[in-house]
Chain A
Amino acid sequence: MNGRRYRLCLLLFILSLVSLPVLAHKASDSYLVLDVTGSQVSGQWDIALRDIDFALGLDLDGNGEITWGELRARHADIDAWALDSLTLQRGGPCSLRVADHLVDTHTDGAYAVLQLAGECPRSEGELRLGYRLLFELDALHRGLLRLTFDGTTHSAVLAPERAEQRFLAGQTSRLAQFGQYLVEGIWHIWIGFDHILFLLALLLPAVLVHQNGRWRGVARFRDALHEVLWVVTAFTVAHSITLSLAALGLVQLPSRLVESAIAASVVLAAANNLKPLVEGRRWLVAFAFGLIHGFGFASVLAELGLPQEALVLSLLGFNLGVEVGQLAIVALFLPLAYALRNTTFYRRGVFIGGSLATLAIAMIWLLERAFDLKLIGS
């Protein structure tokens, strides 16, 4: 009897919730992502609608639902309330404004997204941040800050007792910065398909030998490993040299030339597999073209921006990251290729077919880059 009444209550409760997914209860957080580079401030601030409603009252018609219209009507009030509780200072108070209003969803419901823009009086020196959103109403509210300050990422949990934070320019631990660039290096070799294809084109024949106009598998794993080590080391040494020269600003080449040459290097490496011209000295090819690829890496690094105060360390981290990524590819490729080296599948499909496909792709790259065309893709 009692149990049934209880179920009826639950049923009513469920019925009242059907039209929206059931979202979590959690303590109140806002998500503040800021980028301060020089004097420029940009960012995004996600504040829960439930919290805004508690502070300002959003549910104008009192039906327990907040619509986009109700939220939109209060944007000016929300901006004033939010910006009043956030202060940034770099050489004096920075101006902050809300550039656009969006919405998003986190684990506990819908959030207003304030896109921030602003400017500080100075472009160097420490940054001070003061946060007091909602603290007067909800002592458990926290601001979860992710700050990119002159290229260095910091995070902090802003609480009533830690509402003021200071960030000193160039003060992250050297180790963290090194790690960050290491990861970037790994990531860039993995998504840099022209580098991967070049390397693979050079590695494909490593498990084979060319004798009397025919390819056959190497006898021992050591032979393949030996070849791979020479090729990878030569490639690495070469691109490390040019990457460093370019990153330090000692040598600069036009990017169109570099990109075209990289494409040409892939074309030549693939063609060499189909009609061998250079044999046994593939490490020389790897070295020569590695110099070109180094300039390619450098252009990526230039876009990432190297922190002036930790130039060499970051460069080293990035370079090592590239090597780690490269070694991962080799570690994946070599055992597989060695196992398959005597199969027709490898010699015809992978080696010949793969080289043909690589050649075709690289030719298109070359044409696109040399003549600034768009042949494939959007």
Chain B
Amino acid sequence: MTSSKLTSFIRAHGLRLLPATLAAVLTLAAAAAPRKPADDAEVLERLPSRAGDASSRELAALRAAMAAAADDPAPAGRLAQRYFALAMARGDPRYVGYAEAVIARFSEPLPAELLSIRGMLRQYRHGFAAALADFAAALALDPQLAQAHAWRAAIFLVQADYEAANKECAALQVLGKTVLHGSCSGLTQAYSGQLDAGYRSLQEALASSRDPDNRLWLLTRLGEVAAWRGQPALAETHYREALGIGRDDGYLLAAWSDFLLDNGRPAEVLADLAGWESSDTLLLRLAEAAALLNAPDAARLAQALDDRFAAARQRGDTTHRAEEARHALHLRRDPKTALRLAADNYAVQREPRDARILLEAAIAAGDPAGAKPARDWLRDSGFEDQRLRALGEESALAAPASASSAEARR
């Protein structure tokens, strides 16, 4: 109902006799109302970077290079890559949209380098089939394109297709990409029941890598594998070394906070993620830590997440269903919704963390059948993390009576 209809209704029906109700309605309207600032100096918005800083200068130079050679895919590719890197580092999806728009300026058929970038952008949005097609087309044009093999492997790992991932790893080896091959096969081994071998492969790759971005990625993955092997002290060493590289990386911070949460150290999550509320994935970890500590802003953080998920739903975005499921289970204590979201997510993404939230939600909801896909994966992959295997067994027995045991775990 529009506000004018409401006010005319109130006028017609003598509701002015109930000023409290009226005041409440008006306050609600005022909170959401657009306003006109009185002061020209009022700061309305702070931009992610200012015009003069290094990152802005670099972007400006890349944009100028692209404008100077509008038909040349090389400078456009560099700008799109830079945008994508910013999206990953800051967890800011606007940069993904900028990168896609840069690629969209070129007409089909795209050259190999742009196909490969478009594949990256599509996988970010969970358009895995389209992304795989882009990488395949890129490799058909340029069989030397190691990046495309690495991304295909990453997608196959997300889809829990370890045979296909192994083929991509082998292709990287043939191309002589030692570090990429070690990363690829190390992770594939770890996901498919060979944690020890996977750990060794990742470590070998680390030993021969000097690039800080690669090292950060490898150390993060080593941290995860060590934690799955039940070696928290070793995991912490790896995570700390990765953090010490001093580069913003959303994935690293999320993995590190999950590690802290699993080890009963939520206070450190609050300290280490302070200022990272802008990223949805990190806000989730902050909100979980705050809830565990009964921190004063726990309710505010949980509400902020609600708002974010609502805003994402409005535009039809479903890429954060795994986080939304965790939010529903751990913060909103709504196992039914959590299970639905986790199951929807598991239909698209099947990494260990996706299996875990599905198992936890099914246990809390007392619905053994709901967790069957994750149990099947545990059986087929032979994934060795004891925590996950125990959850798998518990989920098979889950009955409505044991509804709170999954929550008690955290």
Instruction: Please give the residue numbers on chain A whose beta carbons come within 8 Å of chain B beta carbons, in ascending order.
Output: 1-3, 5-7, 9-10, 13-14, 17, 19-20, 22-29, 44, 46, 49-51, 53-54, 59, 62-69, 71-72, 100-104, 106-110, 113, 135-142, 144, 157, 160, 184, 187-188, 191-194, 255, 259, 263, 296, 299-300, 303-304, 361, 364-365, 368-369, 376-378
Contacts of B51 in A (CB 8 A): 59, 62, 64
Task: Please give the distance in Å from A82's CB to the nearest CB on chain B.
Answer: 15
Task: Please give the distance in Å from B254's CB to the nearest CB on chain A.
Answer: 14
Pick the most buried of A106, A184, A300: most chain B CB atoms within 10 A of its CB.
A300
**Contact at B315–A25, with CB atoms within 8 Å?**
no
Once the chains are docked, how many angstroms separate the CA of A49 from the CA of B43? 11
**Taking the complex as formed, is B44 at the interface, i.e. its CB lies under 8 A from any CB of chain A?**
yes
Once A22-B278, A192-B13, A193-B13 are accepted as A-B contacts, the answer to whether A139 and B44 lie under 8 Å apart by CB is: no
Once the chains are docked, how many angstroms separate the CA of A193 from the CA of B13? 8
The listed residue (B42, B244, B277) touching A24 by CB distance below 8 A is B277
**Contact at B17–A68, with CB atoms within 8 Å?**
no
The listed residue (A64, A140, A364) touching B94 by CB distance below 8 A is A140
Interface 9-mer from B145-153, B221-229, B306-314: B306-314
Once A68-B41, A68-B44, A104-B34 are accepted as A-B contacts, the answer to whether A376 and B315 lie under 8 Å apart by CB is: no
Contacts of B314 in A (CB 8 A): 29, 144, 157
**Contact at B274–A27, with CB atoms within 8 Å?**
no
Contacts of A100 in B (CB 8 A): 36
Task: Please give the distance in Å from A193's CB to the nearest CB on chain B.
Answer: 6
Given pairs A139-B97, A255-B12, 12 additional interface contacts (CB within 8 A): A2-B243, A24-B311, A25-B278, A69-B40, A102-B34, A104-B35, A138-B97, A140-B97, A142-B315, A187-B1, A192-B13, A263-B14
The 8 closest A-B pairs by CB, nearest first: A2-B244, A64-B50, A140-B97, A69-B40, A139-B100, A377-B16, A62-B51, A138-B97
**Contact at A67–B43, with CB atoms within 8 Å?**
yes
Contacts of B41 in A (CB 8 A): 67-69
List residues of B (23-70) whose CB comes within 8 Å of A's CBs. Answer: 33-37, 39-53
Once the chains are docked, how many angstroms separate the CA of A365 from the CA of B91? 58
Pick the most buried of A20, A191, A259: most chain B CB atoms within 10 A of its CB.
A191
**Contact at B14–A65, with CB atoms within 8 Å?**
no
**Taking the complex as formed, is B272 at the interface, i.e. its CB lies under 8 A from any CB of chain A?**
yes
**Contact at B90–A2, with CB atoms within 8 Å?**
no
**Taking the complex as formed, is B379 at the interface, i.e. its CB lies under 8 A from any CB of chain A?**
no
Task: Please give the distance in Å from B82's CB to the nearest CB on chain A.
Answer: 15
Task: Please give the distance in Å from A165's CB to the nearest CB on chain B.
Answer: 15
Once A10-B272, A187-B1 are accepted as A-B contacts, the answer to whether A299 and B12 lie under 8 Å apart by CB is: yes
**Contact at A44–B34, with CB atoms within 8 Å?**
yes
**Contact at B43–A29, with CB atoms within 8 Å?**
no
Contacts of B97 in A (CB 8 A): 27-28, 138-141
**Contact at A135–B43, with CB atoms within 8 Å?**
no
Once the chains are docked, how many angstroms separate the CA of A188 from the CA of B15? 12
Task: Please give the distance in Å from A158's CB to the nearest CB on chain B.
Answer: 10
**Contact at A65–B241, with CB atoms within 8 Å?**
no
Q: How many A-B residue pairs have CB under 8 A?
A: 214
**Taking the complex as formed, is B351 at the interface, i.e. its CB lies under 8 A from any CB of chain A?**
no
Once A110-B44, A299-B12 are accepted as A-B contacts, the answer to whether A3 and B243 lie under 8 Å apart by CB is: yes
- Can you pick out 17 interface pairs between chain A and chain B where the beta carbons lie within 8 Å of each other? A3-B243, A3-B244, A7-B272, A14-B274, A19-B46, A20-B45, A22-B275, A24-B308, A49-B45, A65-B47, A67-B40, A136-B101, A138-B97, A140-B93, A140-B100, A304-B5, A377-B17
Contacts of A106 in B (CB 8 A): 311
**Contact at B43–A20, with CB atoms within 8 Å?**
yes
Task: Please give the distance in Å from A27's CB to the nearest CB on chain B.
Answer: 4
Contacts of B317 in A (CB 8 A): 27
**Taking the complex as formed, is B141 at the interface, i.e. its CB lies under 8 A from any CB of chain A?**
no
With CB as the reference atom, state the residue of chain B lying closest to A13: B275
List residues of B (107-132) whose CB comes within 8 Å of A's CBs. Answer: 125
Once the chains are docked, how many angstroms separate the CA of A17 from the CA of B276? 11
Contacts of B92 in A (CB 8 A): 25
**Contact at B16–A376, with CB atoms within 8 Å?**
yes
**Contact at A6–B50, with CB atoms within 8 Å?**
no
**Contact at B50–A62, with CB atoms within 8 Å?**
yes
**Contact at A103–B44, with CB atoms within 8 Å?**
yes
**Contact at A303–B9, with CB atoms within 8 Å?**
yes
Contacts of A364 in B (CB 8 A): 17
Contacts of A141 in B (CB 8 A): 97
What total of chain B residues lie within 8 Å of the partner, measured CB to CB?
71
Task: Please give the distance in Å from A65's CB to the nearest CB on chain B.
Answer: 5
Contacts of B244 in A (CB 8 A): 1-3, 5-6
**Taking the complex as formed, is B390 at the interface, i.e. its CB lies under 8 A from any CB of chain A?**
no
Once the chains are docked, how many angstroms separate the CA of A22 from the CA of B283? 11
Task: Please give the distance in Å from A32's CB to the nearest CB on chain B.
Answer: 12
Once A139-B101, A157-B315 are accepted as A-B contacts, the answer to whether A66 and B5 lie under 8 Å apart by CB is: no
**Contact at B47–A6, with CB atoms within 8 Å?**
no
The listed residue (A3, A22, A29) touching B277 by CB distance below 8 A is A22
Once the chains are docked, how many angstroms separate the CA of A290 from the CA of B280? 54
With CB as the reference atom, state the residue of chain A lying closest to B305: A24
Once the chains are docked, how many angstroms separate the CA of A255 from the CA of B39? 46
Task: Please give the distance in Å from A334's CB to the nearest CB on chain B.
Answer: 24
List residues of B (82-102) whose CB comes within 8 Å of A's CBs. Answer: 90-94, 96-98, 100-101
Contacts of A44 in B (CB 8 A): 34
Contacts of B17 in A (CB 8 A): 193, 361, 364-365, 376-377
**Contact at A9–B16, with CB atoms within 8 Å?**
no
Contacts of A10 in B (CB 8 A): 272, 274-275
Task: Please give the distance in Å from B120's CB to the nearest CB on chain A.
Answer: 14
**Taking the complex as formed, is B316 at the interface, i.e. its CB lies under 8 A from any CB of chain A?**
yes
**Taking the complex as formed, is B18 at the interface, i.e. its CB lies under 8 A from any CB of chain A?**
yes
Contacts of A259 in B (CB 8 A): 12-14
Contacts of B312 in A (CB 8 A): 26
Once the chains are docked, how many angstroms separate the CA of A138 from the CA of B45? 20
Once the chains are docked, how many angstroms separate the CA of A104 from the CA of B15? 30
List residues of B (269-289) whose CB comes within 8 Å of A's CBs. Answer: 271-272, 274-275, 277-280, 283
Contacts of A59 in B (CB 8 A): 47, 50-51
Contacts of B299 in A (CB 8 A): none
Task: Please give the distance in Å from B212's CB to the nearest CB on chain A.
Answer: 12
Once the chains are docked, how many angstroms separate the CA of A364 from the CA of B18? 13
